[in-house]
Amino acid sequence: MTKLQGEYVPSTAGWVRDQVEAFEASNGTEANTLRGGSDPIVVITNRGAKTGKIRKTPLMRVEKDGRYLAVGSLGGAPKNPVWVYNFRANPEVELQDGPVRKRYVARELSGEERAEWWDYAVATWSTYGEYQKKTDRQIPLFLLEPVD
């Protein structure tokens, strides 16, 4: 698999930088759960919408039949996480789930398909439902479908 090429710019959030570094250094065997818990995460590598530089984001693991869901909850904040704009501008991403890294294309969901995946996301990690109650925006969902 050809990796996304370019200059990597670590997150400005220290905990994100530390988690991504530990996750990648261990090939996904460490730092693979939400901080302080047992909920599994994946790390998504994407290209920045404005800079074109490489970004890496740990997100909750929501997987079904080899496809993954990226949930733009930002803990129910009033704004979208920056990676939402990156996915919209540059939908080709890499996702690492444990030691397995593959290329995917991210597609923003709407309508009935979004509703079905939202229900699945909340069933997988119920906190998403609480996050939606905290914000007036509709939390964006991206379905990541494998390329290779």
pTM greater than 0.85 (yes/no): yes
Query: Where residue 11 falls among pLDDT bands split at 50, 70, 90?
Result: very high
Q: Exposed, middle or buried: residue 116 (CB in 10 Å: 0-12, 13-18, 19+)?
A: exposed
Instruction: Provide the pLDDT for residue 147.
Output: 93
| DSSP 8-class letter at 5 | P
Question: Above pLDDT 70, what percent of the chain?
Answer: 98
Instruction: Provide the pLDDT for residue 6.
Output: 92
Which domains are seen in the chain, by residue range? 14-146 (2.30.110.10)
Helix (H) or strand (E) holding 95: strand 92-97
Query: Where residue 90 falls among pLDDT bands split at 50, 70, 90?
Result: very high
Residue 44, pLDDT > 90, answer: yes
Sign, Cα dihedral of 117, 34, 77, 8? negative
Our CA dihedral for 107, 112, 117, 121, rounded to 10 degrees, sits at 120
Instruction: Provide the pLDDT for residue 37.
Output: 83
11-18 long-range contacts (CB < 8 A, ≥24 apart) are: 11/55, 11/56, 11/57, 16/57, 16/58
Instruction: Provide the pLDDT for residue 3.
Output: 80
